[in-house]
Amino acid sequence: MNKTNNTETITRRKLLVNAGKAALGTAGIITLAAALPGFPSKAEATGGSTEKWPWPYVKLDPDKTAELAYQEWYRVFCGAAVINSVFSQLREKVGEPYKSFPSDSFVFLEGGMAGWGTVCGSNAGANIVSNVIIGPRIAGPDCEHGHTIGSEMMQWYSETALPVFTPKEPKQKTAIVQTTSESPLCHVSVGKWMKKSGYALASPERKDRCARVAASVAYKLVQDLNAWKDGKYVTKADWMPGKDVGITAQQNCNECHGTKVPAPPSAKK
């Protein structure tokens, strides 16, 4: 079997599936993987020789975590707030390697990454945390490593009227309206909230809304991680766009494309 001839058609997922099969030896897989640009070697995919992860997790209190995220938002914004709400506690309870994790460096996730309005930093932060704790590779529900918490967070964030968490001592006493973003994107999420509430980006209300969204995400994240730790986590995420529609995307194609959703070249429709 000439393995390199297969690299054009074989997908990464198939490759991973094949990795578990006896047909190709480990050496064959590594050769094949090495031939694909950007595909991690087997050693890298399982943490490599120098990096060791996943990291240990002990169950945390969702309420306490959400309060921490809320406070931290005012210091380091959404992404780093979600990360630090979990990792600051694990620093105390577990110690290293959490003590060395530079949570604050993720301040750049603010504003959908450096103000570009891409993925909401709360989602990015949640994915970073769950991936550090659960293990290699992201991807959807069919992922061999069973890491679905990150994917599910994106779906939950998109479908939920946010924020759901109200801090014990809110910095803004005015009512904060809830909006459903139908998207994991900062720009869409914040934009829909600004439209419904009438508050501008720089308003204290918008800031408090985002702090509460980060807290809401941190709450759910720890709920999910606790369930996972107990072996009781069952995903509701069912979105595998690469496989289902041939392009990575959020689910509601029509919201951006209208009725004429372009079909990617490889889509079999």
Binding residues (CB under 6 A) for ligand HEC: these are 183, 241, 245, 247, 249-250, 252-253, 255-257, 261-262, 264
- Residue closer to ligand HEC by CB (options 79, 112) is 112
- Residue closer to ligand HEC by CB (options 130, 250) is 250
Task: Provide, rounded to whole angstroms, the least separation between the CB of residue 185 and ligand HEC.
Answer: 6
Tokens 């801090």 identify what position? 167
- Residue closer to ligand HEC by CB (options 103, 250) is 250
- Residue closer to ligand HEC by CB (options 114, 261) is 261
Tokens of 24: 């190709």
- Residue closer to ligand HEC by CB (options 41, 252) is 252
Please count the residues of the chain.
Answer: 269
Tokens of 185: 């994107």
The amino acid present at 220, given as its one-letter code, is K
Task: Provide, rounded to whole angstroms, the least separation between the CB of residue 154 and ligand HEC.
Answer: 12
Task: Provide, rounded to whole angstroms, the least separation between the CB of residue 142 and ligand HEC.
Answer: 17
Residue 50: CB atoms within 10 A of its CB come to: 6
Task: Provide, rounded to whole angstroms, the least separation between the CB of residue 112 and ligand HEC.
Answer: 12
Long-range contacts of 25-33 (CB under 8 A, 24+ apart): 28/3, 31/3, 32/3, 32/4, 32/6, 32/7
Contact 236, 182 (CB under 8 A): no
Contact 57, 90 (CB under 8 A): yes
- Residue closer to ligand HEC by CB (options 226, 251) is 251
Contact 147, 137 (CB under 8 A): yes
Task: Provide, rounded to whole angstroms, the least separation between the CB of residue 121 and ligand HEC.
Answer: 17
Task: Provide, rounded to whole angstroms, the least separation between the CB of residue 239 and ligand HEC.
Answer: 9
Task: Provide, rounded to whole angstroms, the least separation between the CB of residue 218 and ligand HEC.
Answer: 25
- Residue closer to ligand HEC by CB (options 100, 266) is 266
Contact 253, 261 (CB under 8 A): yes
Half-sphere exposure of 264 (CA within 13 A, CB side): 12
Contact 112, 186 (CB under 8 A): yes
